[in-house]
Every structure is written in C-alpha cells, then in structure tokens.
Amino acid sequence: MIELYVLMGLMIAGAIIAIEVKNLLSAVVAVGVIGLALSIIFLLLKAPDVALTQIVVEIVAVILLIRATLHREIAQKSCGHRPFGALMGILFLGLAVIAAIVTFASGLNPFGEPLMTVSQFYPVNAISGTGATNVVSSIILDYRAYDTLGEATVLFTAVIGVLTVMRSVGKKKEEDLQENNE
C-alpha cells in the first residue's frame, strides 16, 4: 500500500499549501488537488462509487470557490492569523493526539481488518433481498433509502438557502421603497 501513503502525503502537502499560500486562487487550486487525490485513494480502497461522487463534487466545489475568489482584487492580500485561534489550534492538536492514543489503545480495528459485525448482513442478503448486484447501491436505495431521502432534503434546503442569500430581488424592492419615501 505504498501508493496510499504517497497519495496521503500529497494530500497533507496540498492542505498545508492551501492553508499557507498568499494567493486565494492558488489555495483553491490546491484544495482541488487534495480532492482529486482523495478520489484516487477511494479507488485504491475499493470504493468506486464514492470515488465517482468525490470527483463530481470536487469539481463543482472548486468551480464555486473560484467563483467566490475570482475578480477580487483582495485575492492577493493575505489577512494573517488570529493569535488566540492559533493557540486554540495547538491545544486542539494536543487533545486530538490524546484521543487518538486512547482510541488506538482501546481497540480500533487495525487498517485492513474491518469489524463486519453488522454490515456482514448487506453483502450476504443484497442479491436475494433487493436484486441489486452493487451492494452499495442496494444500501443507499433500498435498505437505507430514508437516509437518501434526508440527503435530498438537505441538498434542496441548501439550494433554497443559496438562492435566498444570493438573490437580488429583495434589494431592488428596498431601493424602490426608499425612492418612494423620498
């Protein structure tokens, strides 16, 4: 699994560049690199459905982020740090290390040996139960279809939220009202 470590190293390097680089557009492109490396890692970890979704989502997210950073003269200007936040970040890092040690010591399954106690049900019963040869799609569309319904609800709520925040109709009406008052 040396390629997994190489790609994860690429992800960490991309993350550090994305956080520390001055130009916002470069930071967005670095996040694109992270997402595409993550997609290849999903392929290596035998999750092709997740890899496909990750590629699509990554491209859409990068397009949206470029929309936010393009044509902004401030994109070149770096804003610096919050000292208190950096202190809290270092504190969080210490807490994360402690939590990781506790979790590894108390029986997280080692890499490459999944627990498969509950989820063994799905591969065994997927064909006879749902007729789907792809176990992942049998889970998201049959066994846990309510999860997918909730996902669609969250997605459309977010779309409505974005449209509400980005619309310019309300602003125009306000200006009309001010003109009428004057």
- Site residues (CB under 8 A) for other proteins, limited to 113-172: 113-116, 118-120, 122-124, 126-127, 133-136, 139-140, 144, 147-148, 150-151, 154-155, 157-159, 161-162, 165-166
Q: Which residues from 68-97 bind other proteins, rule CB under 8 A?
A: 68-69, 72, 74, 78-82, 85-86, 88-89, 92-93, 96
Q: Which string of x and - marks every residue 11-40 that binds other proteins (by CB under 8 A)?
A: xx--xx-xx----x--xx--x--xx--x--
Q: Which residues from 41-60 bind other proteins, rule CB under 8 A?
A: 41-42, 45-50, 53-54, 57, 60
CA dist 14 and 12 (Å) reads 5
Q: Output the six-digit token pair for 32.
A: 């694109």
Our finding on whether 9 is near other proteins (CB under 8 A) is yes
Q: Which of 107, 112, 180, 182 binds other proteins (CB under 8 A)?
A: 112
CA dist 175 and 181 (Å) reads 10
Give the closest residue to 129 by CA, choosing from 112, 117, 145: 145
DSSP states of 48-76: HHHHHHHHHHHHHHHHHHHHHHTT-GGGG
Residues in contact with other proteins, counted by CB under 8 A, come to a total of 89
Query: CB–CB of 27/21 below 8 Å?
Result: yes
Q: Which of 2, 3, 4, 102 binds other proteins (CB under 8 A)?
A: 4
CA distance readout (Å), 82 to 21, 52, 87, 124:
16, 37, 9, 52
